[in-house]
A and B are shown apart, each in its own frame.
Chain A
Amino acid sequence: MSERRVRAFVESLRRNRRPERFDAKPEDVDAMRAAIELSSGRPGATLPSGDFVNDLHGRLAAQLEGDDTARDAASLSRRAVIGGISAAAAAAAAGVIVDRQFLRASTTPKVAASQELVPDEGIWQPVAAANEVAPGQVVRFTTASSVGFVVNDGGQLSAISGVCTHQGCLLRHNEAEGQLDCPCHRAAFSLHGKVLRHQFPEPLPALPQMQVREREGQIEINDARPV
């Protein structure tokens, strides 16, 4: 009977740590499975951290493109922060993935006002059909290098990053409240990117704005990183 090892397995899961490997017996499976189910029930447990999402992106870029673009860009962004380059410039240089690095680093220094991501290069990318974003609607989009929301506020289009400025968790549109919620640490942003609430001792930056336009029946976002 490997009850003791099952107990160690359970204890590891309780601490959200990797359990030690062992040769499980069929009679162990039920308790292990139940412990896994219960561990997944902790609020926010099943959300990946911004660090992980960012790091894996860098590794995949290196694997698939044979270069270290994302890693280079990330370290460039850190240097930019140290050197005092604006958030807009740093983010525009390498898109949202880099933006996350910047924003993580920016939780200690002073907080900038709401920033606009103004790419100095890049291409306009369609993210939705114009008729899918009717007045009053909010549509989530994903491009090659960014995640965000297009908002149609009475015919006025705007677009904001969909990545929390705390640790890079992906925001969710809370339709009932008309806001964007961060599932990781319960921060909330308005549909224009303004911070509505957070629980951190340091101020939280607003969500960066993105350039958006309607062209030939398509909503387009200006994306700093060409595909």
Chain B
Amino acid sequence: MYEIVKAEKLNPDVTRLEIKAPHIAKRAKAGQFVMITVDEHGERVPLTMADISPAKGTVTIVAQEVGKTTRQMGKLKTGDKVFSLVGPLGLPTELHKYGTIVCIGGGIGLALMYPVVKALKEAGNTTVNIIGARNEKLLIYEDEIKSVSDEFYLCTDDGSKGHKGFVSDILKKLIADGRKIDMVYAVGPIIMMKVIANITRPYGIKTIVSVNPIMVDGTGMCGSCRIIVKGETKFGCVDGPEFDGHDVDFENLTARNKRYLAEEQISLRRFMGGN
């Protein structure tokens, strides 16, 4: 069992859990994930770490309430315990000095984007960060990301804060302005990552995306998370979660992530007190 040292709501649908796991915190690096199981009957859910604190011996995950398990996480309180926490899993973000990088995050992806941008900046890169959400209320990690930005853009779909529109609009503009971009890093909804990859492809700008396929064990044993990269089957859990966005088959990833929709609805209805 792993103790939650701090549980807090970032907005009505998003919960941040800081969990005691000194052994994981000691080894974890930006870009890696943990598998969390809330209770003995729970499913194993992969969540990328939003913060890693070796000093405090904690790792932090951020979950958006979508299905049963994430709603259950939303009800967890400081002092509660979770049944299982495994990590650090997956490969860490490759930290090089690329030059100028544009990091783009959307929705819940912003929580995962923060440690990556921080690490990339510490590695000597100039960071141009673009963050977005549907509306102002759903924006998370704004200040944290701003604090590691050389240049910062914010957009909301409804215009309630910052630029009205999509993160991709800003990227397009930066490219149109002839800005020198050495690498683009995108994390967020699949559709967002796909759009970003399509924008950068004709310019040959290296684009890394962080995917979140359905997993079971998270250690390379089952292949639930397989994803097609450059026509080859890769495992999100051990070969990823980061891949070259120009090589990822997003159609297949989208279809695969929908494969238990019906069952997810059953679980959710039951949890919400329906039948």
**A, B in one complex:** no
Interface residues of B (CB under 8 A from A): none
